[in-house]
Chains A and B, each alone.
Chain A
Amino acid sequence: DPKIIQKPKYLVAVTGSEKILICEQYLGHNAMYWYRQSAKKPLEFMFSYSYQKLMDNQTASSRFQPQSSKKNHLDLQITALKPDDSATYFCASSQDRHSDYTFGSGTRLLVI
């Protein structure tokens, strides 16, 4: 059974629209993260949350907003979508910074 569920697996969006990427973890971890993997670029850290509080934000654009309604949820809202936002977005979780980070299988977003 997948321990981190990301939905949807694939997403096609029109430029200028808004989408929400869903992430739920069933590992009992206190920290959750979002990463982005674009073509030809390294996996890029976006956000970290601990106990539902934003701890780190490396995303320059305010169009990306994480939302944590429950301890084991960390959704990612993206507004005013651009073609450059096309990427695979990975959610991850960990108990703390020295324990294993478990990654979800990703949401592949294509903006046309």
Chain B
Amino acid sequence: QQKVQQSPESLTVSEGAMASLNCTFSDRSSDNFRWYRQHSGKGLEVLVSIFSDGEKEEGSFTAHLNRASLHVFLHIREPQPSDSALYLCAVSIQGGRALIFGTGTTVSVSP
């Protein structure tokens, strides 16, 4: 069964510094990878979706997928205090509809 793990559990960065989040998955047939953000008490906001190895940029967010190493990374360029939130990685296997989520990384951006 697919396992999705995220690290670190929490991360504090200074405003403007790069933030890097890691997500590992266990099923090599995974082909669908998404990063979401959830502000406290709110719903999920999609940041970037990636379906093939390499990088994909959406605004200040860049996802980097390496399926051979079972990793997908999220880099946040020049984060602002408003980027403080829970960041969630979600993965689905080939042909699957279910998104399997990691437990998240709580990012705090200090001014």
- Interface residues of A, Cβ cutoff 8 Å to B: 31, 33, 35, 41-45, 48, 50, 55-56, 58, 90, 92, 97-98, 100-106
- Interface residues of B, Cβ cutoff 8 Å to A: 4, 32, 34, 36, 42-44, 46, 49, 51, 88, 90, 92, 95-104
SS class, residues of chain A in contact with chain B: strand
On whether the beta carbons of B92 and A42 are closer than 8 Å, the reply is no
Number of interchain pairs (Cβ within 8 Å): 53
A111 to B51, CA, bound (A): 39
A48 to B100, CA, bound (A): 13
Residues of chain B within 8 A (CB-CB) of A33 are 97-98
On whether the beta carbons of A45 and B34 are closer than 8 Å, the reply is no
On whether the beta carbons of A103 and B43 are closer than 8 Å, the reply is yes
Q: Other than A43-B44, A43-B99, give 8 A-B pairs with Cβ distance below 8 A.
A: A42-B4, A43-B101, A98-B32, A98-B51, A101-B34, A101-B46, A103-B36, A105-B43
